[in-house]
Amino acid sequence: MSTAVAGQRENRTPSFWQSTNGKKAVMAVTGAILFLFVVGHLAGNLQVFEGPAKINAYGHFLRTIGEILWAIRIILIVCVVLHIVATVQLALLNWKTRPVGYSRKKAINSSYADRTMYWSGPIVLAFVIFHLLQFTAGYIHPESQFIDGDIYHNIVAGFSVWWVSAWYIFSLLLLGFHMRHGLWSMFQSLGLNHPRHTPVLKQAALWITIVIVAGYISIPIGVLAGWVR
């Protein structure tokens, strides 16, 4: 009897979340949502180059849609949690299937972005927490007073501190590695990894990432260079 029950358990089909493909699908969907947020957030932040009135008006608009904004924040938090959990669990599954370490590591079919995917994620998460505490909550604002509602002032004052800008740029570079790999993985999850299209899709993922990261980095560089003041 016990043998039969054990056999039934072994033959039981894993649930969507328990399966490897299910976790990859969750990573792809949540990653796509987070990517759209990254693009939208960049579009809003780049308004700092148009002067205080423009970006502060953008901030005021966000305040007028408070309930919608909180709904978006909740969705993003859920996506972040699911994305991290799925990533960690997939990493553990990979380690279980390869319990014995290689005597010599070889990056045969993996890029630097692939190999840094797991440790770049936590660093980017730490950056996001720091970024929110500084520019949204105003708890961390070294060498300057945080002015609620004055986004332009807070950006200029925050990035005028060299180590804040350095941390921001470093974190964005890691996000770039993470995002480039994530975009390519998303293309694969959608079944677009045909040998004919693979080189084009890889280049597309790379250049999309470069444009986004360059856009974000241009803000602290603009402040430090005096273009935004």
Q: What is the mean pLDDT of the chain?
A: 81
Sequence letter at residue 54 = K
pTM of structure: 0.80
For the cut 70, the answer to whether the pLDDT of residue 3 exceeds it is no
116 backbone dihedrals φ, ψ, rounded to 5°: -100, 5
The predicted-structure confidence for 60-76, as pLDDT tens digits, reads as follows 998 898 889 889 989 99
Percent of the chain with pLDDT strictly greater than 70 = 80
Q: What is the 8-class DSSP label of residue 138? A: -
Average pLDDT score over residue span 124-147: 83
Could you give the CA distance from residue 98 to residue 110 in angstroms, rounded to a whole number? 16
Q: Which of 222, 218, 213 is CA-nearest to residue 156?
A: 222
Choice between 53 and 23, residue whose per-residue pLDDT is larger: 53
Q: At a CB cut-off of 8 Å and minimum separation 6, what does 81 contact?
A: none
For the cut 90, the answer to whether the pLDDT of residue 214 exceeds it is yes
Could you give the CA distance from residue 189 to residue 198 in angstroms, rounded to a whole number? 13
For the cut 50, the answer to whether the pLDDT of residue 55 exceeds it is yes
Q: By the 8 A CB rule, do 181 and 117 touch?
A: yes
For the cut 50, the answer to whether the pLDDT of residue 150 exceeds it is yes
Separate counts of helices (H) and strands (E) for the chain: 9, 0
Sequence letter at residue 43 = A
The predicted-structure confidence for 172-201, as pLDDT tens digits, reads as follows 998 898 888 878 777 776 666 667 777 888
For the cut 90, the answer to whether the pLDDT of residue 221 exceeds it is yes
Choice between 204 and 47, residue whose per-residue pLDDT is larger: 47
Q: By the 8 A CB rule, do 91 and 27 touch?
A: no
